Amino acid sequence: MKSSLAVVAIGGNSLIKDKTKIAMHDQYEAVKETAVYIADLIENGLDLIITHGNGPQVGFIYRRGELAQHELPLVPLDICGADTQGAIGYMIEKALLNELRKRGVKKEICALVTMALVDRDDPSFKNPTKPIGSFLSREEALANKEKYGWDVVEDAGRGFRRVVPSPIPREIIELDVIRTLVEKGYVLIATGGGGIPVVRNDSGDLEAVEAVIDKDRASSLLATKLGADIFIISTSVDGAYLNFGEKDQTPLGRANLSDIRKYLEEGHFKPGSMKPKIESIIEFLEGGGSRAIITSPENLLEAVKGESGTTIVK
Ligand code: ADP
Ligand code: MG
């Protein structure tokens, strides 16, 4: 029997559970926990591609750069992204290899540095909204605007911050490599942090852009292009809720595409957290996918069996 291919997107919360535990060894401990649940999926016969967020980690690298500016040049965002794909990919790889070995499951795993192509005329370039880096005084913000051409915004009483565009990913540059390796049975970690955003310049070359890509959007694109059977989003809640945060919040067990479009329109899913997940799932289902899941790491296997979490079908 042909086994099923699943793209599993792991949220940043799988690496940082607690804001006071951000050291690399803390993050690795968190990755080890998540690896147990991912190993369950592999043991149950799913072919997997793992994608992951990198918001906090990019923030840390960037902040180190800011603090070291008197001695070393700032790290551009594409390089921050590449750094996190390497570091997080490595942690997932090691934790999962060790977990699978313990269970006597033989699998080769590899983390791939992945770029995502975006449109040069994506509207977000004209209207950057994603805050990154530390809070700045008005003077610092204006100085950096002058020096580096940054877009800066005032953040309600807390000071100024740099904002960057968050364009929609259109293509995964390494798609064929990913497909080939998955067909060979390797477990891949790819498109970390939504992929490193690049554009094609007039001569056709790839060029980095100072932007960040939503990891849920990039994961959905990857799942769609690969024709994955299941798109799974592993996050900090056990599923999507209607009336989230209200007294009458209700877990959403199973829904179809038209239900979910309606709930989205009614405003049940918060921008910047659940909304991009739901939009990514809609893209996947509209693009030919048949099943998508939102759940927490510990419920992954149950959710795949349809016994937990939120399942959205066509
Ligand atoms: P990740 O790091 O996995 O991308 P996010 O923080 O971006 O996680 O998104 C998950 C969060 O979305 C949850 O912790 C929850 O607070 C929030 N959220 C917003 N709307 C909803 C909803 N309707 N149902 C469930 N969670 C929601
Ligand atoms: Mg998120």
Please report which ligand is nearest the Cα atom of 51: 1
Q: How far apart are CA 253 and CA 307, in angstroms?
A: 9
274 C-alpha to center of ligand 1: Å? 4
**Tokens for 281?**
């799932």
Alpha-carbon 154 to chain mean position = 26
Q: How far apart are CA 282 and CA 163, in angstroms?
A: 27
pLDDT beyond 90 at 312: yes
Fold topology of 5-116+171-313? Carbamate kinase (3.40.1160)
Which residue's alpha carbon is nearest to atom 7 within ligand 1? Answer: 273
* pLDDT confidence of residue 63: 87
Q: Phi/psi of residue 153, each to 5°?
A: -130, 155
Instruction: Name 199's bridge partners.
Output: 207
Probe target for ligand 1 pocket from 10, 130, 220, 235, with the most ligand atoms within 8 Å of CB: 235
The ligand 1 site (C-beta within 6 Å) comprises 11-13, 53, 235-237, 240-241, 244, 268-270, 273-274
Q: Where are the alpha helices (DSSP H) in 111-151?
A: 138-148
186 C-alpha to center of ligand 2: Å? 27
272 C-alpha to center of ligand 2: Å? 6
Instruction: From 132, 127, 192, select the one nearest 165 (Cα to Cα).
Output: 127
pLDDT beyond 90 at 3: no
Q: Which residues are catalytic?
A: 12-13, 130, 215, 277
Work out which ligand 1 atom sits closest to the CA atom of 294. Answer: 25
Instruction: From 285, 277, 174, 280, select the one nearest 228 (Cα to Cα).
Output: 285
For the purposes of burial, counting CB atoms within 10 Å of the CB of 285, is it exposed (0-12), middle (13-18) or buried (19 or more)? buried
* pLDDT confidence of residue 2: 60
81 C-alpha to center of ligand 1: Å? 22
What digits encode the pLDDT tens for the residues 138-186? 999 999 899 889 999 997 778 898 999 999 999 999 999 999 999 999 9
Work out which ligand 1 atom sits closest to the CA atom of 272. Answer: 7
* pLDDT confidence of residue 148: 87
Give me the percent of the chain exceeding a pLDDT of 90: 86
Per DSSP (E only), the strands in 177-309 are 187-189, 196-200, 206-208, 230-234, 241-242, 250-251, 254-256, 291-295
Q: How far apart are CA 282 and CA 52, in angstroms?
A: 19
* pLDDT confidence of residue 246: 96
Which residue's alpha carbon is nearest to atom 1 within ligand 1? Answer: 11
Give me the percent of the chain exceeding a pLDDT of 70: 99
Instruction: From 30, 78, 21, select the one nearest 234 (Cα to Cα).
Output: 30
Q: Which region among 60-69, 208-217, 251-260 has the lowest average model confidence (pLDDT)?
A: 60-69
Which residue's alpha carbon is nearest to atom 27 within ligand 1? Answer: 274
Probe target for ligand 1 pocket from 57, 231, 237, 242, with the most ligand atoms within 8 Å of CB: 237
Q: Phi/psi of residue 289, each to 5°?
A: -65, 155
213 C-alpha to center of ligand 1: Å? 17
Which residue's alpha carbon is nearest to atom 2 within ligand 1? Answer: 11
What digits encode the pLDDT tens for the residues 100-134? 999 999 999 999 999 999 999 999 999 998 888 77
Mean pLDDT of the residues in the chain? 94
* pLDDT confidence of residue 13: 65
What digits encode the pLDDT tens for the residues 20-68? 888 999 999 999 999 999 999 999 999 999 999 998 899 899 889 989 9
pLDDT beyond 60 at 248: yes
236 C-alpha to center of ligand 1: Å? 7
Work out which ligand 1 atom sits closest to the CA atom of 252. Answer: 24
* pLDDT confidence of residue 205: 98
* pLDDT confidence of residue 1: 43
Probe target for ligand 1 pocket from 273, 295, 296, with the most ligand atoms within 8 Å of CB: 273
Sketch the domain layout of the chain as residue ranges: 5-116+171-313
